[in-house]
Every structure is written in C-alpha cells, then in structure tokens.
C-alpha cells in the first residue's frame, strides 16, 4: 500500500507541483479566476490599483497637450500672417481710403479735419489743369526714355552673365550695387556729372568739339539726364531677373538649336527671347509702374528749386506735382485727387498686362 502511494505521487521529472504564487487550475477553472488572482496579487492594502492615479494624471496631461497642439496647428498660421495685415491696414489700406475720401472734399493740410464736400470737383479740375497734363506728359516721356534702354541693356548683361565666366558671382553682385545705392547719393553724384560749367559730361563733350549743354534748364536734356539716373539704378536689378529666367530655360533647346546650325546670336533671338516673354512683360509693367511713381530723382536733380521740376516745369512728374499741391501749396484735397488718378493709371496698366499675358499664354 505504501508502494501504491509512492507510485501515485508524481515524481519531479513527470510533473512538479505548481509554484505557490501560481496556483494550479483544474478543468473547472475559468478566465475569471485568473483575473481575480492577478488583481489580488497586485492589489494594495487600500484596494486601489497601483497605477490608477499616475496613469489617469498622465492621460489628462496628454489630452491637454493634444488640445494645445490642435489649437496651435489651427491658429498659428493666422498669428504668423497677422503682422503683415496689421501694417498693411495701418500704412496701406487706411491711407488709400482716407485719400479717396479727401479727394471728394476741399481740405487744406493746415486744417485736415475741416472738410467741405465738393464731389468730383477736384478730378474735373485736373482735366483743365495744364500743369497736370504737363506732368503727365513728362512722366510718359521720362518713362519711355528710361524703360526701353534699361531693359535692353539688362537683357544683354543677363545674356553675358548666363555664360560660365570667371568671377561671375562678382559681376552679379557688381551689377546689383547701383540698386542698393541710396537714391539721394546717386542723384547728387549725377547732378555733379551733368553740371553746366564743371560737369564731367560737358568736359567729355568738349573733348570732341561739342559745346557745353545746360542739362537742367533744357526740356529734352533734363529729361534725358533724369532718365540716365533711373537707367543706372535699375538696370542691374532687371538684369538679375532676366538671368534667373534664363537659367530656367532647358539646355535641350540650345543643344537642338546648335545641332541645327544656329549661331549664338540666332539662339538668343529664337530660343532665349521667346522663352523670356513672360519675364519681359513683367519687367515692362514693373518699370512702367516705377516710372509713373518717379519722385526722388527729379526732386533732387532740381537742386534747391523744390518740386517745380525746373524753371519751366520741364521735368516735373506726377509724383512731383502731387507733392507740390499737397506739401507746398497745402491743397490736400487736390493732392488726393492726383494720387487717385495715378492709382487709376496703374490699374489700367495692370489690366493691359493681364490682357497681354493672357494672350501670350494662349499663343504658347
């Protein structure tokens, strides 16, 4: 009988008894018994789960971070662009609306709050003002004299810089230097160059037998001198725009043209220029807008004579005429009407640009 008991007792090799901390289960046990035992093992004397408090706090912390992240993603873009709109409304939109309102009133700069309603009287007065038409004609003339040579020279400079030249980065910086120069400093230097008695331009003309030219008092000479300042300042800027556009032209076009026997000049005419049509249109519009707003060069070229644009108003632009009416004659209403007239001219230029650009895109 003892032998039967020993035979009935399982040996260590056949199956040891379960560990005390993992009680054996029989066929009638369920998963609930396991869960109960596991909870009992990890239970604290107070009955609370050991990780319940910290886990809940961490979950709430993650939820708060998630809400902050969603708010940040939603509102941060508006916060980034808000400064632009604030400054635009303060220094762009408000002056535009105020000048539009002032152009409908008779108001003096000495008493800007005393406004007398005159409707479109300030605009109709411009139609019969010979000084306004003179300023408009001078603006168009100077714009043509300065824009056409400026863009042609810029196109040639960009074409040269587009080739692999030694020290090309130096030349690119050099052509942009006039643009970074102060308009006041540049204009004063050109005033000395175009001086009637001791100017270097007249000295060079004298070397080839041409008499001294009174650059400031002549109509065409003064406009040519002012245009020279504009050309000098803005040629490099437009050259870099053309250079960037040229570098975007695929080399396959030039290789195909070279295989067809096209020379460098033919490649420039038949490949480069057609590819630059949108860029050329852009620079024409921007240069025209700049010419319409021309102010600093003619003002400083006149020396101490003020905003008259010469003794006979021979190079007085729309910008100078606006300045003369508003800040010399103190007629703020008239100056506002001139400003809005210039704005309408720019809108017309923009509309023409849109029409031409649309036709170019259709033809392409």
Q: pLDDT-based confidence at 27, cuts 50/70/90?
A: very low
Q: What is the mean pLDDT of residues 121-126?
A: 92
Q: What is the pLDDT of residue 53?
A: 63
pLDDT of the residue at 24: 42
pLDDT tens across 244-273, in order?
Answer: 999 999 988 888 988 888 888 888 898 999
Q: What is the pLDDT of residue 41?
A: 44
Burial 117-139 (b: 16+ CB within 10 A, else e): ebeebbbeebeeeeebebbbebb
Domain 125-363 has CATH 1.10.1740.110: no
pLDDT digits (tens, 9 = 90+) for 74-114: 888 888 889 999 999 999 899 999 999 999 999 998 888 88
Which pLDDT belongs to residue 28? 44
User: What phi and psi, each to the nearest 5 degrees, are found at residue 363?
Assistant: -70, -30
- pLDDT value, residue 42: 45
Are residues 236 and 177 in contact, defined by beta-carbon separation less than 8 angstroms?
yes
More confident residue, 306 or 82: 82
Q: What is the pLDDT of residues 148-179, one digit of tens each?
A: 999 999 999 998 888 877 777 888 888 888 98
Encode pLDDT of 132-141 as tens digits. Answer: 999 999 999 9
pLDDT at 175: 87
Burial bucket for residue 164 (CB in 10 Å: 0-12, 13-18, 19+): exposed
Q: Does the pLDDT of residue 23 top 50, yes or no?
A: no
| Rounded distance between C-alpha atoms, residue 283 and residue 359, angstroms | 17
pLDDT 10s digits, 201-218: 999 998 998 888 888 888
pLDDT of residue 364: 63
Distance of CA 214 to the CA centre of its chain: 40
The pTM assigned to this predicted structure is 0.74
Q: Domain ranges in the chain?
A: 52-102, 125-363
Mean pLDDT for 113-124 is 91
Query: How confident is the model over 42-64, as a mean pLDDT?
Result: 62
């Amino acid at each position: 009988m003892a032998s039967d008991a020993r035979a009935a007792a399982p040996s260590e090799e056949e199956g040891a008894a379960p560990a005390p901390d993992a009680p054996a289960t029989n066929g009638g046990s369920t998963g609930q018994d396991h869960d109960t035992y596991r909870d009992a093992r990890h239970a604290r004397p107070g009955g609370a789960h050991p990780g319940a408090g910290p886990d809940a706090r961490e979950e709430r912390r993650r939820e708060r971070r998630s809400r902050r992240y969603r708010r940040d993603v939603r509102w941060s873009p508006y916060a980034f662009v808000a400064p632009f709109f604030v400054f635009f409304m303060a220094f762009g939109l408000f002056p535009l609306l105020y000048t539009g309102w002032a152009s409908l009133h008779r108001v003096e700069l000495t008493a800007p709050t005393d406004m007398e309603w005159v409707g479109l009287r300030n605009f109709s007065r411009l139609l019969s003002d010979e000084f306004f038409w003179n300023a408009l004609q001078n603006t168009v003339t100077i714009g043509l004299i300065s824009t056409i040579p400026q863009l042609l020279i810029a196109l040639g400079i960009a074409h040269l810089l587009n080739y692999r030249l030694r020290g090309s980065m130096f030349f690119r910086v050099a052509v942009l230097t006039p643009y970074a120069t102060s308009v006041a400093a540049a204009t004063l230097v050109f005033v000395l160059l175009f001086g009637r008695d001791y100017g270097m331009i007249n000295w060079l003309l004298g070397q080839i037998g041409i008499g001294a030219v009174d650059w400031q008092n002549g109509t065409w000479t003064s406009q040519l001198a002012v245009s020279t300042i504009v050309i000098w300042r803005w040629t490099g800027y437009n050259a870099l725009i053309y250079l960037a556009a040229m570098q975007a032209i695929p080399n396959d076009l030039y290789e195909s043209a070279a295989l067809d026997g096209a020379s460098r000049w033919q490649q420039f005419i038949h490949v480069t220029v057609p590819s630059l049509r949108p860029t050329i249109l852009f620079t024409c519009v921007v240069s025209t807008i700049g010419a319409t707003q021309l102010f600093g060069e003619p003002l400083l070229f006149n020396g101490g004579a003020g905003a008259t644009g010469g003794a006979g108003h021979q190079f007085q632009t729309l910008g100078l005429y606006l300045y003369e009416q508003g800040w010399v004659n103190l007629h703020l209403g008239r100056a506002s009407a001139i400003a809005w007239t210039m704005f309408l001219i720019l809108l017309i230029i923009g509309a023409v640009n849109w029409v031409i650009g649309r036709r170019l895109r259709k033809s392409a």
